[in-house]
């Protein structure tokens, strides 16, 4: 037995108890005639005490040779500490050591294993097994476990069955590139890793499983950001014999349960917003509604003057920044520089100060009088003491630019509070979106999404106006889940694939198995998938997902700890019938 208790377990009630502890050396304080060692495991820290009057000489000398992160086992008696530490649960006691075994030594770690470390991101990712010993990462992984267990408990109690689906599947177009796996036994053929279990969960509905869920790995070969990983985890769910309202109610229930169980927060309202309204009022389809700063479209009150920048724009749009009139000219200039960064892409920004005396001062006073600027304030909802920020240009671009500015300003103003939670359903997305590069329509969600009832006929005449029977669940400005009512009959699926540019032969080759299944009594069905990594991060009060993943990859998709991806040798290539054609 390596331990009788953990390092976070002992209290004053254990005084005079003989115990055995094992763990890592957090630190050593050598006073010469006495030595203090902080021993750490997953559960906490216990102080060990070695004393020349009470400890055997060889054990005291051995304790003086301990280094940080040595793995040791000790036996001893629990005693009251002379100098108590109220900052840790074990701070009233220590263990007077009578036996010490060094189970494993340790090199000096490349960074300090402390809550606040001196290791940078790259270094900590290279030695992730050491980083996990730090409380912030350890607690994040434990937090993820609690969320996953709460999800499983809720869905199981609601009658959902957890079913595993394959990882080696067929490549299907779902919006991103597939990771492919060569098959040794089928020369020249490849599996793909699933971007989601989409078709399999639909087949489970055909199979009569009725309510399915799975906490599952998914894979997408796409350009990465701080909040994306090439492999990520979904809470994947599907239900049969349901309409949209059934799904929204079920997963509002799950979200309420998680917020109450994990965060102790009661949330009653799940407002609903049309996609078109989200784009018009916030410039994106996942708005953060914890704060205001809704867009005000200014074309009617800002064009037809002598200011050609606005006159030539497709959209002139602004937001009111609460209390923004306190910004200095230098601070406003920095904002203008911020929106002109390549990541945002605006050509400039017009501003208007709303003075306390009811007057206005604008950067374009030459073109607009006080009455004009008062209309700007009315449209944007600006009050005395606010600052109006205005951008103009092509509609979709300028909305995205102002959305980025809105979020940046909210961050600076402290309006995005991590302990506040504001869920939102965004509804009625376009079914299709036009791709300029391929000059054809693509499915905004995936090819199996059903159009809104009664809109199938529009596909031929006005495909861009067809709305999807789809919904996203947004939490604090992040999409945490998305889903739809699915197509469940072969004829409708064939029409959809035709409008996505598939010939009958291509549709048969890609999705014949699904369309065949639809001919054997497929029930109406729909579902949703939550991004577990992002959901856990938001519930944990953070925006990025990396620390909630045990072994994440960097922004280039590399695992710097194990140095993957990596070349394979010629013998393996030959066995897989592969030949490299690398660009020099």
Residue 161 φ/ψ, nearest 5 degrees: -110, 130
Token digits for 443? Answer: 């499915």
Domain annotation covers residue 127: no
Same domain? 236 vs 343: no
Domain range enclosing 44? 12-104
The number of residues making up the chain comes to 584
Q: What is the pTM of this model?
A: 0.92
Q: How confident is the model at residue 435 (pLDDT cuts 50, 70, 90)?
A: confident
Q: Is the pLDDT of residue 224 over 90?
A: no
Residues 146-151, mean pLDDT to the nearest whole number:
98
Cα separation, 565 vs 273, in Å, equals 42
Whether residue 513 sits in one domain with residue 433: yes
pLDDT at 228: 85
In a domain, 251, yes or no: yes
Please compute the mean of the pLDDT values over residues 544-555 and round it to a whole number: 92
Residues 246 and 297 reside in one and the same domain: no
CA count, 13 A, side-chain hemisphere, 247: 32
Main-chain phi, psi angles of 346, to 5 degrees: -75, 150
> Can you give the pLDDT at residue 68?
97
pLDDT tens figures, 279-334: 999 999 999 999 999 999 999 999 988 999 999 999 999 999 999 999 999 999 99
* Residue 492 confidence (pLDDT): 92
* One domain, residues 178 and 243: yes
Are 25 and 72 in contact by the 8 Å Cβ rule? The answer is yes
Shared-domain flag, residues 429 and 531: yes
> Of the given ranges (196-200, 409-413, 530-534, 540-544), which has the lowest mean pLDDT?
540-544
**Regarding predicted confidence, which is higher, 407 or 510?**
407
**What is the H or E stretch that residue 404 is in?**
helix 395-412
In a domain, 4, yes or no: no
Say if residue 454 is in the same domain as residue 538: yes
Residue 174 pLDDT level (bands cut at 50, 70, 90):
low
Tokens of 448: 């199996």
Same domain, 234 and 268: yes
Residue finishing a domain among 366, 388, 416: 416
Instruction: Tell me the C-alpha to C-alpha distance, in Å, between residue 13 and each of 9, 46, 78, 334, 426.
Output: 11, 15, 9, 60, 54
407: domain CATH number is 3.30.1360.30
Confidence band for 35, pLDDT divided at 50, 70 and 90: very high
Q: What value does the mean pLDDT take over residues 33-38?
A: 96
State yes or no: pLDDT of 584 exceeds 70.
Answer: no
CB 408 within 8 A of CB 264: no
pLDDT of 403-432, one tens digit each? 999 999 999 999 999 999 999 999 999 999
Mean of pLDDT over the chain: 95
CA 209 to chain centre: 29
Q: What is the pLDDT at residue 57?
A: 95
Q: Using one digit for the tens of pLDDT, what is the confidence trace for 467-496? A: 999 999 999 999 999 999 999 999 999 999
What CATH code is carried by the domain that includes residue 264? 3.30.930.10
Alpha carbon 113 to chain centroid, angstroms: 26
Query: Which of helix, strand or coil describes residue 208?
Result: coil
d(CA 448, CA 513): 13
Does 559 reside within a domain?
A: no
CATH number at residue 90: 2.40.50.140
- Of 471, 451, 447, nearest to 459 by C-alpha is 451
Q: Which range among 216-230, 231-245, 266-280, 370-384 shows the weakest confidence by mean pLDDT?
A: 216-230
Binding-site positions for ATP = 220-222, 229, 479, 531-534
DSSP letter string over 182-205? E-SSSTT-EEE--S--HHHHHHHH
Q: Is residue 304 part of a domain?
A: yes
Q: Considering only 35-44, 102-111, 548-557, which range has the smallest mean pLDDT? A: 548-557
Residue ranges of the binding site for L-aspartate? 174, 220, 445, 486
Q: In this structure, is residue 160 part of a structural domain? A: yes
Q: Where does the pLDDT of residue 444 fall: very low under 50, low under 70, confident under 90, or very high at 90 and above?
A: confident
Q: Which residues are annotated as a binding site?
A: 174, 220-222, 229, 445, 479, 486, 531-534
Backbone region of residue 519 per phi and psi (left: phi > 0; alpha: psi in -120 to 50; beta: other values): alpha
Mean pLDDT of all residues in 445-461:
89
- The arithmetic mean of pLDDT across residues 496-517, rounded, is 91
**Per-residue confidence at 271, pLDDT binned at 50, 70, 90?**
very high
Residues 480 and 409 both lie in one domain? no
Share of the chain above pLDDT 90, in %: 88
| Domain contains 91 | yes
Give the domain-ending residue among 61, 89, 104.
104
Q: Please state, in angstroms and rounded to a whole number, the distance separating the CA atoms of residues 395 and 391.
A: 10
CA distance 552 to 566: 16
Quick one: CA torsion of 269, 274, 277, 279, rounded to 10 degrees? 100
Report d(CA 196, CA 183) in Å as an integer.
Answer: 21
- Tell me, what's the pLDDT at 445? 86
pLDDT at position 226: 61
User: Which residue, 163, 140, 139, is CA-closest to 152?
Assistant: 163
- Pick from 239, 213, 163: nearest CA to 525: 239
**Domain boundary residue, one of 416, 440, 458:** 416
Exposure class string for 251-261: b at 16+ Cβ within 10 A, else e:
bbebbbbbbeb
CA distances to 268, 341, 349, 401, 407 from 338, rounded to whole Å, are: 37, 5, 10, 10, 12
Within this chain, do residues 144 and 267 fall inside the same structural domain, yes or no?
yes
Structure tokens at 190: 């490849």
User: What mean pLDDT comes out for the span 526-551?
Assistant: 94
Residues 404 and 525 in one domain: no
Specify the number of domains making up the chain. 3
**Contact in structure between 318 and 388 (CB atoms under 8 Å):** yes
122 by DSSP, 3-state: which? Answer: helix
| 392 and 338 both lie in a single domain | yes
Half-sphere exposure of residue 368: CA atoms within 13 angstroms, side-chain side: 27
**In the chain, % of residues over pLDDT 70:** 99
In a domain, 5, yes or no: no
Query: C-alpha angle 211/215/217, rounded to 5°?
Result: 130
CA dihedral 184, 557, 535, 166 (to 10 degrees): 0
Q: Are residues 144 and 252 in the same domain?
A: yes
């Amino acid at each position: 037995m390596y331990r009788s208790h953990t390092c976070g377990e002992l209290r004053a009630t254990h005084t005079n108890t003989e115990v055995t502890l094992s763990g890592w050396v957090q630190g050593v304080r050598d006073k010469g005639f006495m030595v203090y060692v902080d021993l750490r495991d997953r559960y906490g820290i216990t102080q060990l005490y070695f004393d020349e009057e009470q400890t055997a000489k060889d054990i005291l000398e051995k304790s003086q040779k301990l280094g940080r992160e040595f793995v040791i086992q000790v036996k001893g008696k629990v005693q009251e500490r002379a100098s108590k530490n109220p900052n840790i649960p074990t701070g009233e006691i220590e263990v007077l050591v009578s036996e010490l075994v060094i189970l494993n030594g340790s090199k000096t770690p490349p960074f300090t294993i402390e809550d606040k470390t001196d290791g940078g991101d790259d270094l900590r990712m290279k030695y992730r097994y050491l980083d996990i010993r730090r409380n912030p990462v350890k607690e994040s992984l434990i937090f993820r476990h609690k969320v996953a267990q709460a999800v499983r408990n809720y869905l199981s109690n609601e009658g959902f069955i957890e079913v595993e689906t394959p990882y080696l599947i067929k490549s299907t177009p779902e919006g991103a590139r597939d990771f492919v796996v060569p098959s040794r036994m089928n020369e020249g053929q490849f599996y793909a890793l699933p971007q989601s279990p989409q078709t399999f969960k639909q087949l489970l509905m055909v199979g009569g499983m009725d309510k399915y869920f799975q906490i599952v790995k998914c894979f997408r070969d796409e350009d990465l950001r701080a909040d994306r990983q090439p492999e990520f985890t979904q809470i994947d769910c599907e239900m049969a014999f349901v309409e949209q309202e059934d799904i929204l109610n079920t997963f509002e229930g799950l979200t309420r349960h998680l917020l109450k169980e994990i965060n102790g927060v009661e949330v009653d309202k799940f407002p609903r917003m049309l996609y078109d309204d989200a784009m018009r009022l916030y410039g994106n389809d996942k708005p953060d509604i914890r704060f205001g700063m809704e867009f005000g479209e200014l074309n009617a009150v800002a064009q037809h003057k002598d200011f050609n920048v606005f006159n030539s724009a497709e959209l002139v749009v602004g937001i009111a920044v609460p209390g923004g009139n306190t910004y200095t000219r230098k601070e406003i200039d920095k904002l203008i520089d911020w929106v002109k960064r390549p990541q945002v892409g605006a050509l400039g920004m017009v501003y208007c100060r709303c003075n306390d005396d009811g007057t206005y001062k604008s950067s374009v006073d030459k073109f607009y009088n006080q009455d004009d600027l008062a209309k700007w304030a009315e449209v944007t909802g600006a009050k005395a003491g606010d600052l109006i920020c205005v951008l103009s240009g092509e509609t979709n671009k300028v909305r995205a630019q102002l959305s980025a500015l809105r979020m940046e300003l909210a961050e600076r103003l402290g309006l995005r509070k991590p302990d506040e939670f504001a869920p939102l359903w965004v509804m009625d997305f376009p079914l299709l979106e036009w791709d300029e590069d391929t000059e054809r329509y693509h499915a905004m969600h995936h090819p199996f999404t059903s159009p809104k009832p009664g809109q199938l006929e529009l596909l031929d005449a006005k495909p861009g106006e067809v709305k999807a029977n789809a919904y996203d669940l947004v939490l604090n400005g992040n999409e945490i889940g998305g889903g739809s009512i699915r197509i469940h009959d072969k004829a409708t699926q064939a029409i959809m694939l035709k409008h996505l540019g598939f010939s009958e032969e291509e549709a048969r080759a890609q999705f014949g198995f699904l369309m065949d299944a639809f001919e054997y009594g497929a029930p109406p069905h729909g579902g949703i998938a939550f991004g577990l990594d992002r959901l856990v991060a938001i519930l944990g009060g953070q925006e990025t997902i990396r620390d909630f993943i045990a072994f994440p990859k960097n922004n280039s998709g590399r695992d710097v700890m194990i140095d993957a991806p990596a070349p394979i040798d010629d013998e393996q290539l030959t066995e897989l019938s592969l030949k490299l054609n690398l660009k020099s």
